[in-house]
Chains A and B, each alone.
Chain A
Amino acid sequence: MSTVVSLLSRAREGDADAFSEVVGRLYEELRQVARSQRRRLSASETINTTAVVHEAYARLEGGAGPPVFNDRAHFFRVAAAAMRGVIVDYARRQTRAKRGGRDRAVPLDAIGPVEDVGAIDLVQALSLDAALGGLAEVDAETARIVELRYFGGLTIEETAEALALSPATVTRRWTFARGWLHRALADDEAGSA
């Protein structure tokens, strides 16, 4: 099996499938970690998402073997980019499923407790993904900050570390990004209304 590193170098050479494979692998890790945590919990407990994400990242990074990334910053960037892929993919499928609007095949009480999935704003995730290209034209680094913070789920400090910036700079750029994206999404809504 190709390593994440070799997949990424293939991706850089233009192999579109290579990056999708990283995304696919991260997704699979997330599913497995989430499912195994879900199984350990009682129905009333909720899943610790931060722990799940960090474990999935760690598994993507190298699992049981030696770490494959020699610097953590590089790994965060890759993980966030992959996570963006996972989220967009997931959001697309979910919105499609909702559009399908089929009757429930099985009553919910027959299949056990269901996590609240309303926590993810699917439309927002898809819109932000689409708007990020425009932001990158203004300032590529700011777009990367959004990718790390929003899609990667990283803190200000982790983002700063990944991009070798000061936390203050990340905060200021993040503020700019909020404004830019807010306007882009509002324009979008106005445009499609």
Chain B
Amino acid sequence: MSDARLVTLVPDALDLPPESRDAFLDRACRLPTGEMDAALRAEAVSLIRAAEAALSEGDLASPVAGLVSGVASEEHLAAEAPPETVGPWRVMGLLGEGGQGVVYRAVRADGAFEREVALKLLRPGARADARLAARLAEERRVLGRLEHEGIARLYDGGVADDGRPYLAMELVRGEPLTSHADSARLGVRERVGLLAEVCDAVAYAHQRLVVHRDLKPSNVLVTDAGRPKLLDFGVAKLLGDEPDAALTVPGWMTPAYAAPEQIQGGEITTATDVYALGVLAYELLAGRRPYETAGLTPVEAERVIANTAPPRASDAATEAGHPERARALRGDLDTLLATALAKEPARRYDSAAAFAADLRRHLGGLPVEARQPTVGYRLGRFVRRHRVGVIGTAAALLAMVGIAGVALARVSAERDRAETEAANAVAAQDFVFEMLAAPRSEEQGRDVRVADLLDDASVVLDSTLGDQPSVLVEARSRLANTYRSLGLYEESARENQRCIEAASRAFGPESDDALTCRLNLGSTYRLLGDFARADSLITSVVAVLRARYGDDAPELVFAYNALSALRNDQDDPEAALEAAERLLAIDRRRAQTDPGALADVASSLNEVAVGLSSLGRMDEAAERLEEGIAIREAAGDTVGVSFASDLRNLGSIYGRMERVEDAERTLRRAVQIGEMAVGPDHPRVAGLYAMLGQLLTHHGDLAEAESLIRESLRIRETALGPDHVAMAYSWEFLALALHAQNRTAETREAAREARRLYALHFGEDHQWVADVDTLLTGP
């Protein structure tokens, strides 16, 4: 009964004295015919009674007031009742609560990830706003690439339903560094060894432009195996960048471990972490901290840390009741610690790596370099001059640079030049690091594109490193690979070309360095779809290396890898498989003595599987991939691009074996991991979208299929251009998805594009052109 007349009838009646209401209703509730509208009258009576009951209960208070109080105390509520789930994670229990927020034990709700993680639900900093999610995603990508056994991995991060950011991190069981050292009764040498390992982990992150900012004993756990592991890398930055946040947000930073520049609101740099490492080392070795700040106000603590020199560590040890340690500290270690703890960032160790090296020199009885200008840091002077400020975009970039240059290091590892190469790698990395980290003054405050930074680096390389050819080659190679990681293939090709020139000039055109650059150029051309050039470069390198080292030498892994990928793209599966099998054999042999090569075995299994599947040998292909995936899962390598790519291939093979459910499950997992690893706008993810879309076209939701495929088109067109061969796959998939929906005109439009590109890349008489033609001419 919903008669609009009731809206006035009811309040009118209520305005009357109760005894007059019946007569009023009798008059008012009439049908158009004049008869009594009994239904309306009954409804009115019922509503009048209800309104009287409601009014007798008093005002209907708005919940807004309660909401505001509730919101104000929400953080407390969160601690009181853990959420059941946060993002894709199911909360299993509470681990602890700290200044940054609450930490829970959690597992993936969908079982896509077997291990338990430490799920940190952060208190939003003052900068929590609508852009938080985007900023967090950006940081997560950077931090997620920190893969080092001394650093707790970041698996995931995002914004929970209630707007609080969360991070899912490797769950580390261990004891804080200082208490472990005491309970295990470690001697000074063992403590120094542990510190060097901590420095290694920090140095690794610094090379990827991630500064910890909050190093302290509770963030360095020692595992049961006795290895140190750093927690919360870069997390402090997520909580806000305000320079004075140190003093206003309790728990964000621990003043006792904070560097003078950190307390005074100066620039946070890698030198800030070096300082904190110094405090950590001081406390671990001397048994007390360099400054006693307990009981001081923030302002007093600041004054002490900024203006007074700490006592010598050996004196502090004596005072703390460790005379035997004092003896061991006197001399070198005193100097080392004083260097790390210098007030001015420029007077400290240039890097955590330099600190580690000095600690090890001390252990090895070699002269330490503290106070002397250190070797290999001619480039480091740049860093000091500019004081490395970490730019988000640059950090994202450097994370990729880490992958680069591996080729050079690996090829040369078998020869005696390994040491020189490692030094070159450090110097080259410092250079790129410096270029990216130094903000360009004219553009300060603007979002400098990563590619622009790289372009700058490329321009000044010759003039800066002209006299150090090995460093120059290494740096060019890194730049080239970085461009490639960013999907900037043209630039990568240009840089590889310059790399070849530099290497040929310095070491000869047939030198290993020149060959590696040629190989990289070939692979870049392959990605650009220029198979003719790729072929000539890659096959010539393979031929030279085979003649030089033999058919199955470890030096050939990269060459076979490139060759196999090329043959696949050229649609020559027999040749692709042959190269992949050679690669696999080499890697299996290497893995017998070097467990670190297992990841390479997984990669080559993938290559072999791709070849097998192209030949229709699906069962074998699936077996290889399942083996590779098992290897990666056993190693915990389940968040990277390689894992996503294995899953993609396995999903595709399942699809072709008509194991539809397995295929969909596997591809969705691949998409998820791919998005996490490289971000949703990367061409690699486009491939995953296209593939999942193709599967759904045949076996699932056509609307989702179409939207996935269109997304792949958009990403590919932006990243690769409209004529790239990958665009053909997306167009063809789109045509099929549209065809399945009987949208004939659109189907033909998409199919025409696919046909044009297939003909362009493979020739008019290729089978794929004919395949697409059936869509153009069919009903």
Interface residues of A in 21-57 (CB under 8 A from B): 24-25, 27-28, 30-32, 34-35, 37-38, 46-47, 49-50, 52-53
Interface hit among A8-16, A65-73, A144-152: A144-152
| Distance (whole angstroms) from the CB of A35 to the closest CB of chain B | 6
Question: B258 on the interface (CB 8 Å rule)?
Answer: no
A115 to B4, CA, bound (A): 43
| Distance (whole angstroms) from the CB of A153 to the closest CB of chain B | 3
Checking B47, B72, B79 against A180 with a beta-carbon cut-off of 8 angstroms, the contacting residue is B47
Q: Find the A residue at minimum CB distance from B132.
A: A28
- Do residues A186 and B67 form an inter-chain contact, with CB atoms below 8 A? no
- Do residues B65 and A49 form an inter-chain contact, with CB atoms below 8 A? yes
- Do residues A176 and B51 form an inter-chain contact, with CB atoms below 8 A? yes
Question: B11 on the interface (CB 8 Å rule)?
Answer: yes
A104 to B82, CA, bound (A): 8
- Do residues B73 and A115 form an inter-chain contact, with CB atoms below 8 A? yes
Q: Give how many B residues have a beta carbon under 8 Å from the other chain's beta carbons.
A: 52
- Do residues B69 and A175 form an inter-chain contact, with CB atoms below 8 A? no
Interface hit among B54-62, B490-498, B653-661: B54-62
In the bound complex, residues from chain A placing their C-beta under 8 Å from that of B84 are: 96, 100
Q: Give how many A residues have a beta carbon under 8 Å from the other chain's beta carbons.
A: 67
| Distance (whole angstroms) from the CB of B80 to the closest CB of chain A | 5
| Distance (whole angstroms) from the CB of B124 to the closest CB of chain A | 8
A167 to B163, CA, bound (A): 38
- Do residues B54 and A106 form an inter-chain contact, with CB atoms below 8 A? no
Checking A28, A38, A116, A182 against B51 with a beta-carbon cut-off of 8 angstroms, the contacting residue is A182
Question: B46 on the interface (CB 8 Å rule)?
Answer: yes
- Do residues A35 and B72 form an inter-chain contact, with CB atoms below 8 A? yes
- Do residues A153 and B77 form an inter-chain contact, with CB atoms below 8 A? no
Question: B70 on the interface (CB 8 Å rule)?
Answer: yes
Question: B443 on the interface (CB 8 Å rule)?
Answer: no
Question: B129 on the interface (CB 8 Å rule)?
Answer: yes
Residue of B48, B81, B97 with most partner-chain A CB within 10 A: B81
- Do residues B72 and A178 form an inter-chain contact, with CB atoms below 8 A? no
Question: B10 on the interface (CB 8 Å rule)?
Answer: yes
Question: A124 on the interface (CB 8 Å rule)?
Answer: yes
A125 to B62, CA, bound (A): 9
- Do residues B83 and A97 form an inter-chain contact, with CB atoms below 8 A? yes
- Do residues A181 and B163 form an inter-chain contact, with CB atoms below 8 A? no
In the bound complex, residues from chain B placing their C-beta under 8 Å from that of A78 are: none
In the bound complex, residues from chain A placing their C-beta under 8 Å from that of B76 are: 108, 111-112, 114
Question: A5 on the interface (CB 8 Å rule)?
Answer: no
Checking A24, A28, A111, A179 against B10 with a beta-carbon cut-off of 8 angstroms, the contacting residue is A179
Q: Is the interface of B mostly helix, strand, loop or mixed?
A: helix
| Distance (whole angstroms) from the CB of B228 to the closest CB of chain A | 28
Question: B64 on the interface (CB 8 Å rule)?
Answer: yes
Question: A91 on the interface (CB 8 Å rule)?
Answer: yes
* Contact of A138 with B7 at beta-carbon distance under 8 Å, contacts A49-B68, A106-B80, A116-B69 already known: yes
- Do residues B82 and A105 form an inter-chain contact, with CB atoms below 8 A? yes
In the bound complex, residues from chain A placing their C-beta under 8 Å from that of B77 are: 94, 97, 114, 117
Question: A74 on the interface (CB 8 Å rule)?
Answer: no
A121 to B65, CA, bound (A): 11
| Distance (whole angstroms) from the CB of A94 to the closest CB of chain B | 7
* Contact of A114 with B73 at beta-carbon distance under 8 Å, contacts A87-B64, A183-B47 already known: yes
Checking B7, B50, B62, B162 against A151 with a beta-carbon cut-off of 8 angstroms, the contacting residue is B62
Question: B2 on the interface (CB 8 Å rule)?
Answer: yes
- Bitwise interface map of A from 62 to 93 toward B, beta carbon under 8 Å scored 1, else 0: 00000000000000000000010011001101
Checking A32, A86, A101, A114 against B67 with a beta-carbon cut-off of 8 angstroms, the contacting residue is A86
* Contact of A30 with B97 at beta-carbon distance under 8 Å, contacts A93-B161, A138-B7, A175-B51 already known: no
A162 to B407, CA, bound (A): 69
Q: Find the A residue at minimum CB distance from B84.
A: A100
- Do residues A142 and B68 form an inter-chain contact, with CB atoms below 8 A? no
In the bound complex, residues from chain A placing their C-beta under 8 Å from that of B161 are: 93
- Do residues A117 and B70 form an inter-chain contact, with CB atoms below 8 A? yes
Q: Is the interface of A mostly helix, strand, loop or mixed?
A: helix
Q: Find the A residue at minimum CB distance from B51.
A: A179
- Do residues B64 and A153 form an inter-chain contact, with CB atoms below 8 A? yes
Q: Find the B residue at minimum CB distance from A2.
A: B130
In the bound complex, residues from chain B placing their C-beta under 8 Å from that of A151 are: 62-64
- Do residues A183 and B70 form an inter-chain contact, with CB atoms below 8 A? no
- Do residues A179 and B47 form an inter-chain contact, with CB atoms below 8 A? yes
In the bound complex, residues from chain A placing their C-beta under 8 Å from that of B81 are: 97-98, 100-102, 104
Checking A25, A96, A119, A176 against B69 with a beta-carbon cut-off of 8 angstroms, the contacting residue is A119
- Do residues B72 and A38 form an inter-chain contact, with CB atoms below 8 A? yes
- Do residues B72 and A176 form an inter-chain contact, with CB atoms below 8 A? no
In the bound complex, residues from chain B placing their C-beta under 8 Å from that of A86 are: 67
Interface residues of A in 114-142 (CB under 8 A from B): 114-121, 124-125, 137-139, 142
A112 to B8, CA, bound (A): 51
* Contact of A152 with B64 at beta-carbon distance under 8 Å, contacts A31-B71, A175-B14 already known: yes
In the bound complex, residues from chain B placing their C-beta under 8 Å from that of A137 are: 2
In the bound complex, residues from chain B placing their C-beta under 8 Å from that of A180 are: 47, 50-51
Question: B94 on the interface (CB 8 Å rule)?
Answer: yes
In the bound complex, residues from chain A placing their C-beta under 8 Å from that of B82 are: 100, 102, 105
Residue of A53, A104, A183 with most partner-chain B CB within 10 A: A183
- Do residues A124 and B54 form an inter-chain contact, with CB atoms below 8 A? no
A164 to B472, CA, bound (A): 75
In the bound complex, residues from chain A placing their C-beta under 8 Å from that of B367 are: none
- Do residues B69 and A117 form an inter-chain contact, with CB atoms below 8 A? yes
Question: A190 on the interface (CB 8 Å rule)?
Answer: no
Known: A114-B76, A120-B70, A180-B47. 15 other contacts (CB 8 A): A34-B71, A47-B72, A49-B69, A100-B84, A105-B79, A105-B102, A115-B70, A115-B73, A119-B63, A120-B65, A176-B6, A179-B47, A180-B50, A181-B54, A186-B50
Residues of B within 8 A of A (CB): 2-4, 6-8, 10-11, 14, 46-55, 60-74, 76-77, 79-84, 94, 97, 102, 128-131, 161-163
Smallest CB-CB A-B distances: 10 pairs? A120-B66, A179-B51, A153-B64, A119-B66, A182-B54, A172-B11, A183-B50, A49-B65, A115-B69, A178-B54
Residues of A within 8 A of B (CB): 1, 24-25, 27-28, 30-32, 34-35, 37-38, 46-47, 49-50, 52-53, 83, 86-87, 90-91, 93-94, 96-98, 100-102, 104-106, 108, 111-112, 114-121, 124-125, 137-139, 142, 149-153, 172-173, 175-176, 178-183, 186
